[in-house]
Amino acid sequence: MGAGLDAHAHSASREMGALVAWGRGVGGWRLALGARLPPWDAGFCTEPGLQSWRGGDREALLLELRAAVVEHRGPLVTLNKPQGLPVTGKPGELTLLSVLPDLSQSLGCPSLQVIRAPGKETSGLVLLSTCPQTASRLQKFFIRSRRAHRPTATYWAVTNGIPDASEGQILAALTLQHIGGVSVVIPVKCPSRRDLLEGVKRTLSHFRVMATGSGCALIQLQPLTLFPSQLQVHMMLQLCPVLGDHTYSARAGTVLGQRFLLSAENTKPQRQALDDALLRRLHLTPAQAAQLPLHLHLHQLLLPGSRPADAPIELRAPLPRYFSRTLQCLGLCQQ
């Protein structure tokens, strides 16, 4: 088991090294993984280039998104969404969609539309298109891939805890419920046919441990179905909540060093609690840990080639700076 994890860590370090070389000069991300990182203080969310959005005015967001553009090729534009930025929202709220007209004009291209984007608390690749026909073709490709259980999206996550297996699949029936005025995802054991007709969905993800250290893990996640917060809930069910998950991590309880699953119906969302040893490794105070961003990043998307015989196109997004810093603090990357 240890040798296998060492191999995973070595593979992860090679991939992250390639990512650094590929990502230099993209937006504001210029920090190599081997470089000395600045101290993590309470202002990390607003420090330029950290890629964690905590609010601002429209012009500031537009500048941030222009700097986050990874590639502009033909009708496709890809950008690296900062963590904390919602894609949609209520009228008048500052969201990715609300500034798309300004971003289109700033980039000198026709109106952009979202094809694929991670949720608010997740960072990573956003796929945009100026061509409705291209957008429709890619959306149909993603739907066909999900039906065939072919992964097209690869996420990286840092988890508080290490899965028992180094690789595997997570299958769980999930549903959305309103508890205490908050909409949360609830696992459903042995769903009936009626449950499945009333909104319960069978969900499936593949995971692979890439590196371990300090009781944490760097995990590669590939969702094979689509459901809100699917990856966060799946890792919580493995008793390895994603670092910075302030919604579902409280369901993984600990007694005498042993973790167990608490009832979702009786566990309210709360700030993630980290033990003293982990806080020291991360150089965080409890107050700073309470503001820790979700360490879940949409790292790669696979798109179909222009012709059926063409190889798939790989799109990648550099890691947010806080994510890279965490990997170093926890020894999850090797130089």
Task: Report the pLDDT value the prediction gives residue 5, as an integer from 0 to 100.
Answer: 38
Task: Report the pLDDT value the prediction gives residue 86, as an integer from 0 to 100.
Answer: 93
CA 332 – CA 243 distance, rounded (Å): 13
Size of the chain, expressed as the number of residues it contains: 335
Task: Report the pLDDT value the prediction gives residue 40, as an integer from 0 to 100.
Answer: 39
Q: What number of helices (H) and strands (E) belong to the chain?
A: 9, 13
Task: Report the pLDDT value the prediction gives residue 221, as an integer from 0 to 100.
Answer: 98
- Per-10-residue mean pLDDT of the chain, 335 residues long, equals 40 38 30 38 37 75 92 92 93 91 91 94 96 94 93 97 96 89 89 89 97 96 96 96 95 81 82 93 93 97 83 92 95 68
- Give me the torsion for CA of 312, 16, 124, 61, rounded to 10°: -130
Q: How would DSSP label each residue in 88-101?
A: S-STT---HHHHHH
CA 221 – CA 226 distance, rounded (Å): 13
The helix (run of H) or strand (run of E) holding residue 129 is: strand 123-129
Other CB atoms within a 10 A radius of the CB of residue 315 amount to 17
Q: Which residues contact 38 (CB under 8 A, 6 or more apart)?
A: 47
CA 77 – CA 131 distance, rounded (Å): 11
Task: Report the pLDDT value the prediction gives residue 54, as an integer from 0 to 100.
Answer: 64
Q: Which residues contact 115 (CB under 8 A, 6 or more apart)?
A: 127, 128, 129, 135, 138, 139
Positive or negative, the CA dihedral 230, 233, 239, 244 is positive
Q: Where are the domains of the chain?
A: 1-56+154-335
pTM above 0.85, yes or no: no
Q: Class assignment of domain 1-56+154-335?
A: alpha beta
